[in-house]
Amino acid sequence: MFGIWGHKKAAEITYYGLHSMQHRGQDGAGIVVTDGEQLNVHKDVGLVNDVFKRYDFAENPGHAAIGHVRNATQDDGVFNNVQPFVFHTLNGSTAIAHNGKIVNADSIRRNLEETGSILQTTSDTEVLAHLMRKNSQKTTEEAIIESLKQLVGAYAFLILTEDKLYVALDPRGIRPLSLGKLGDAYVVASETCAFNIIGATFEREVMPGELLTISNEGIKSTRFLLREPRNLCAMEYVYFSRPDSDLNEVNVHTARKRMGIELAKEHPKFDADVVTGVPDSSISAAIGYAEQCGLPYEMGVLKNRYIGRTFIQPSQELREQGVKMKLSPVRGVVEGKSVVMIDDSIVRGTTSRRIVRLLKEAGAREVHVRISSPRIENPCLYGIDMLTKKELIAANHTNEEIKDLIEADSIEFLSVEGMEKAIIKDKTLNQGVCAACMTGNYPVLENDQRKEFYRKY
């Protein structure tokens, strides 16, 4: 997500902000801009460039805007779910963009429908708009806070009206969200890499349980809920975020490199010939692993820059095809050698198996797989598209079985302790992480929801 308040080219800057975060979702994109009198929206399925290639920014002026890039899950990849959503009432209009997952969205939706609400999408984002409407005829700070208090889960919201921009983060801070300045304008983004692209300065992270109200009068902060400690999603460090982004005062590239170092301490392979990383998110860890083991790092696998992320493709068939098109081995680097292949994670095993095959077809004598994150054995409740244990290879197989399934010569994973050592700067500074997909310890899950969760997943 990206938002800006107080700049005459708000829509254009939002476009560049979204473009810098295209890695977070390739299934849809949208921008809502306001000139102070009305909200204008443009959105569609596809990449940012495709959605806005015929969009005339000059015809859609405004001083504030919010934008969103969409990662569709297996069952909701439809146009109606492309954000931001815009809601019109007699008292004004409201646009909402959301990153995360509302755990109790189904029960809220059921209650809303039973009391007369008609929802237009299958997205849990829409429930916030209906809750706000029930709490007040207008979009106000009080109505937003009362609505947010009813939500359980992980969320980062941008809410735009004709005269204000509201920014909210869940009480555990599971999703990333940062505040910056571009001249006199305020900017908000899921990742700080967006600030670098537009020339903005990083001010601070939005705090867990904080609501920011930004208007022509300035910026106001309200802490509506607080839960200790913070639980920023560990997969942001492992996979999702760009290496030039900073999360919790820790640079992502640096954290990934340290994960590679810790992995090498736990599971070294000193007799290998070369270390290679799976582009792009594994390269930092591969460099750290190679340095710690005293082995050469080489580009043994190349990536087609025009193919999107296979992990977030909405179907297994598309993931399989995407891996074949996306990656290719460098024969001159791996032929006749014992290769340590560093990957950031294994979710379903599709990518790892294909890359091992590619390396061996290119002449690699051995392929030893090292994963720079712990085993993913549990579904994610908070917005990552891995919802059932049956699709998680580590939830159903031992390391030895995984090794055989992906056709590797060996496989080892980083421990949870090693990961936390690499990515948590200082636990006393409220910099904890959510590693529920690895540990099964869900920071946001009430007792009744826990029972429903285990029954369902």
Contacts of 429 by beta carbon, 8 Å cutoff, 6+ apart = 249
pLDDT at residue 306, rounded to an integer: 64
Residue 129 has φ and ψ, to the nearest 5°, of -60, -40
Tokens standing for residue 359: 């390396």
Contacts of 174 by beta carbon, 8 Å cutoff, 6+ apart = 100, 154, 231, 232, 233, 382, 434, 443, 444
DSSP string, 32-100: EEE-SS-EEEEEEES-HHHHHTT--GGGS-BSEEEEEEE---TT--SGGGPSPEEEEETTEEEEEEEEE
pTM given for the model: 0.90
Q: How many structural domains is the chain composed of?
A: 2
Boundary-marking domain end, from 202, 227, 252: 227
Q: Contact at 8 Å (CB) between 232 and 433? A: yes
83 is in which domain, residue-wise?
A: 2-227
Same domain (yes/no): 296, 321: yes
In a domain, 446, yes or no: no
In a domain, 445, yes or no: no
Q: Contact at 8 Å (CB) between 147 and 87? A: no
pLDDT in tens, 300-347: 999 876 665 444 455 555 555 555 677 889 999 999 999 999 999 999
User: Rounded distance, CA 125 to CA 107, Å?
Assistant: 13
Same domain (yes/no): 251, 296: yes
In a domain, 284, yes or no: yes
pLDDT over threshold 70, residue 145: yes
Boundary-marking domain end, from 227, 245, 270: 227
* Best CA proximity match to 5, nearest among 117, 165, 112: 165
* Best CA proximity match to 200, nearest among 184, 214, 211, 213: 184
pLDDT over threshold 50, residue 187: yes
Boundary-marking domain end, from 168, 199, 227: 227
Same domain (yes/no): 105, 201: yes
pLDDT in tens, 121-130: 778 888 998 8
In a domain, 405, yes or no: yes
